[in-house]
Structure 1
Amino acid sequence: MVRSSGNSNGHHDHELQATSVLNVTKFKCGGFALGLAFSHFVADGISAVEFINSWGKTARGLPLSLPPFLDRTLLRARTPLRVEHHHSEYDTLPNISSNLITGEKVVYRYIRFDQDMICKIKQESMAPYSDRNGRMITNNKCSSYEAITAFLWKARAKALGMSGDQLMRVLVVVNVRDKFEPRLPKGYFGNAIKYTAATCQARDLVEQPLSYVVGLVQEAIRRVNDEHLRSTMDYNETRRAIRPLGFTYISSTWSRLAFGSTNFGWGEPISTGPVELPVSFLVKRKGRCVCTRSWGCLSLS
C-alpha cells in the first residue's frame, strides 16, 4: 500500500492506495479476461508490460529475458535542490471562457484511423508555417504520435468553442529512460515518464495550420533532457506539486508497449488496451489506429 499525494484538484487526501490490483474474469466459453491496475508510484506502462510478460514466461517455465533493475535512488532529487527551468505543466491556466461544458453529457465514440488517413495527417503536419516570431518553419520529420496528438488537440479546441484568448494546454507523456545522462539501466522497474507541456491560445489552435500545432508538440518533447529532468525532480521535491488539469488535454503512446505478446501458455491475447484513464493513447494494433473514449480517454490502436 502507498499513500496518495493528492488529486488533480490539488487536494491532499493521503488515502491509502493499493500498489497493484489484479482481476480475472472467467467466461463460459473457457476464455478469460485479465485486468491489471498499477499505482504510478510503482510502475509506468513499460514496467507494467515487463511485469506481466515476465509473469507469463514464469507461468510457462521460461527464464526471464530481462531481470528487473530495482534501484530507485537513480531518480532522487539533488542536494542542494536546484530548480533551473520553468515547469509549465504545473501552471494553473486562467479561466476566461464562458463556454463551460461541465454540465453537459459527454458522449464517447470508437473511431478508426487507417493508414491513408494517418499519411494525410502527417503530410499536413509538415507543411510550411509561420512560428510565433514570424519565421517560416517546416517540420522536416514528424512521427505518427506527434501528428495525431496535434490533430486531436486542435480538433478538441475547435469543438469546445472557448474564448479565443483562452490558454489551452496539451500534456505529452515522454519515456525518459534514454533522456538521462547516463541513460537508465535496461530493465529499470519504476515510474520513468514525464509530462511535458505545450500551451497555446485557443484562437491559434483553431486558426493556425496543423503544422504549427505539431511544432508546439515537438518543441515540448525536445525540451525533455537530463538537465530539465533533474530540475523537474528538484521542483517536485520542493513543491510536491499537483498538475492542474483545467483546459488541458493529455496524450500518451502505447505503440511500443507489448501487451499483445503476453502469453500464459494459451497463446497471445485476442485483444488488449486501456480501460479507464483520463488520457489519450496511441496504441498500435494490426497496422491500424483506433480511437476509443473512456472517462476522457482516447485510445488509438
Structure 2
Amino acid sequence: MKAYNAVSWIDIAAMVTVKNCYTVKPAEPTPNNRLWLSEFDQIKPLTLAPTIYLYRSMGDSVESVIDTLRDSLSQALVQFYPLAGRLYNIDGGRFELECNAEGALLYEAESEGMIDDFGDFRPTPEIRELIPRVDHSSTPVHESPLLVVQFTRFRCGGVSIGMGVSHILIDGQSALHFVSEWARIARGERIETLPFLDRTVLSKPLLAAPRFDHDEFSPPPLLLGGSDQKEQRKKETTVAMLKLTKDQVEKIKKKANQGHDGRPYSRYEAVSGHIWRCACKARRHENQQPTNMRIVVDCRNRLQPHLPKGFFGNATLPIMSTSRAGELMAKPLGYASGKIREAVEKMTDEYVRSAIDFLRNQPDLSKYRTFHTVGCTQGAFYGNPNLVVTSWVGLPIYGADFGWGKEFHMGPGSLGYDGKSFILPSPAADGSFILPLRLQVDSMDAFKKFLHDDI
C-alpha cells in the first residue's frame, strides 16, 4: 500500500490553484523515538526555510510526474525519516524531535500565469505563492509538518518545486543533501550518500563556562540618534535581484587585495565587504555609526574531529563583523574584507565549542531562536544599520533533476527583513554572482548605484 493519502490543507493565494494535497509518509517502517537536538538546532527560527526550483518543461504528463514525486519522496523519507517527524516543546524553550512518521505534505497546483511572469525570480510575495506555508501562530508545533513541497504547473508548460523545510531540523547543506538524494531516487537511481542522523556527536559534557565572549548572541547596534526598532520595522522595504558579472567580481576582488600582503581575500570576502560599504553609503550612515555584518559559518570542518560525512542537521553558527560606518566608507575595500575574514577566522574548534557551552548554559533559548526574525518578541531586530550576508557560493545549490532535467533557477523563496541578503553563484557557472537583497525603499536605488559605480 502506498504511504500517502489526500488531505485538505490549503493556504495559497488566488493566483495559484491547489488541486490536491497529499501526506507522504515513509515507504517502510522507520525508527520511532525521540531525537535529541543540539544547540546548533535549538537557536534556529521556528520557520520553514523556503526555496524555489524552476524548470522550463517537465516532459511527462502531470499525473506521471506527481506519482513519481510522491513515490520517490516516500522512499527518500525512509532514510531521511526525521523530516517525517514532529517537534515537541521541552524545558528551557527547547525542542525535541519525535520520529513518528507523521509525514511531509506535497501539494499539486497549477497557475494560469507564465513562468516568465515572475521576471528575474526575486523572492517577492508572488514567488512565495509557489511555496506552502505553515502558520505557527495558529498550528501547535507538534502538529506542524517539518517538510512541505508544492509542485506547480504553469500555462507555458514550465513547472516549479517550492519547498519549505524546518530550520530547527536542518541547515542549507543538509537540505541540499536531501533534495539531491530525493531527485536521485526520482530518476530511478540509488542514494549516493546516506544521512548521518546521530546528533549526539555534538553532546560533549558541559564545561564550567564559555572561554570566549560571544557578542554574536548580543543585541546588534541601533541607529545613532534615530528611530527605535519599532519605527525601523514600520519602514517600507523592497527586494532586488542584483547581478555582478565575472569581470565585476574579479575587479572587486582585485580592489580588495590592493596593498594587501598575505593570503589574498576571496571572492566572498571581497564582494561581501563591497556590499557592506555600499549599504552604509546608501543608508547615509554617520561616521560614528556602529554597524554589524552577520555571517553564517558552516562548522562541519571547523570542529575537531570534523563532523561525519552526510551529517544531517544544523552545523552553522553566526559570527559578527563589527566596524564604524565612517571607517568602512573612508578606508580601502580591503579594510572591510579584512574585518570579515577576522570574524570568520575566530570560528575555531575551541570557539565553536565555547559557543555551544554558552548556549547550553542558558536557562531559556527562546530569545536566541527568535533573534533576527520577523515578528520576534524577545530578540533584537536585525535591520538598519546592520546586514546579514549569507553565501551559497560553496554549496551545491544546482542540479536538482527529478527526471525532466535540471532547474534553470534556484533561490531563496523570501527575504524576511531589511538588510538580509545572499550571494549566489550563477546557474550558468560562469563566475558571475546573483545578489538577492532586501533594503528599505529609500535606500535601494542608492545601493544599486554604489554597487556598480564603486567597483
TM-score under structure 1 length normalisation: 0.85
Q: Does residue 300 of structure 2 align to residue 177 of structure 1?
A: yes
Alignment equivalent of 1:192, drawn from 315, 318, 323: 315
Change (3 A) 1:41 1:105: closer
- Is the counterpart of residue 70 in structure 1 residue 197 in structure 2? yes
Matched, 1:120 2:251: yes
Give yes or no for contact 1:77–1:237 (8 Å, CA) kept in 2: no
Post-superposition Cα deviations, 1:206-237, rounded to whole Å, max 9, x if no partner, equal: 21211011100000111101101101111111
Give distance in 2, aligned partners of 1:109 and 1:208: 27
Task: Give the direction of change, closer, same or farther, for the CA distance of 1:261–1:93 in structure 2 (3 Å limit).
Answer: closer
Matched with 1:2 is 87
What secondary structure sits across from 2:240 in the alignment? coil
| Counterparts in 2 of 1:252 and 1:93: CA distance versus 1, 3 Å | closer
**Distance 1:73-1:119 versus aligned 2 partners, 3 A rule:** same
Give the superposition deviation at 1:169: 0.3
RMSD, aligned α-carbons: 2.5
Q: Which runs of 5+ in 1 are unaligned?
A: 7-12, 129-136
The offset of 1:41, in angstroms, is 1.2
Provide, for residues 145-177 of structure 1, a one-character-per-residue CA deviation record: whole Å limited to 9, x for no partner.
Answer: 111111101111111123322211011111111
Deviations along 1:12-34, one digit per CA (max 9) or x if unpaired, are x8962542221111223443210
Q: Which amino acid aligns with 2:434?
A: V
Flag the 1:56–1:237 CA change in 2: closer, same or farther, 3 A: same
Is residue 2:400 matched to residue 1:262?
A: yes
AA partner of residue 83 (structure 1): P
Q: Aligned residue for 1:249?
A: 387
Query: Is 1:40 aligned to 2:167, yes or no?
Result: yes
Deviates more, 1:159-168 or 1:176-185: 159-168
Residue 133 (structure 1) aligns with: none
Quote how far apart the aligned CAs of 1:99 are: 4.4
> Which has the larger displacement, 90-99 or 20-29?
90-99
Deviation at 1:276, TM superposition (A): 0.7
Please report how far the alpha carbon of residue 295 of structure 1 lies from its aligned counterpart in structure 2 after TM superposition: 7.4
Q: Using the alignment, how far apart are the partners of 2:323 and 2:140 within structure 1?
A: 35
1:234 corresponds in structure 2 to: 357
Deviations 1:20-63 (Å, cap 9, x if unpaired)? 22111122344321011122211111111110110111112211
Compare CA radii of gyration and give the structure with the larger one.
2
Which of 397, 410, 417 matches 1:272? Answer: 410
Q: Which one-letter code corresponds to 2:331 in the other structure?
A: Q
User: Aligned residue pairs: how many?
Assistant: 283
Q: Report SS of the residue matched to 1:194.
A: strand
Q: Identity of paired residues, percent?
A: 28
Is the deviation greater in 76-85 or in 112-121? 76-85
Match of 1:57 among 166, 179, 184: 184
Paired position in structure 2 for 1:219 = 342
- Between 1:242-251 and 1:64-73, the stretch displaced more is 242-251
TM-score, normalised relative to structure 2:
0.58
User: Secondary structure, in 3 states, of the residue corresponding to 1:235?
Assistant: helix
Cα distance in 2 between the residues matched to 1:124 and 1:162: 23
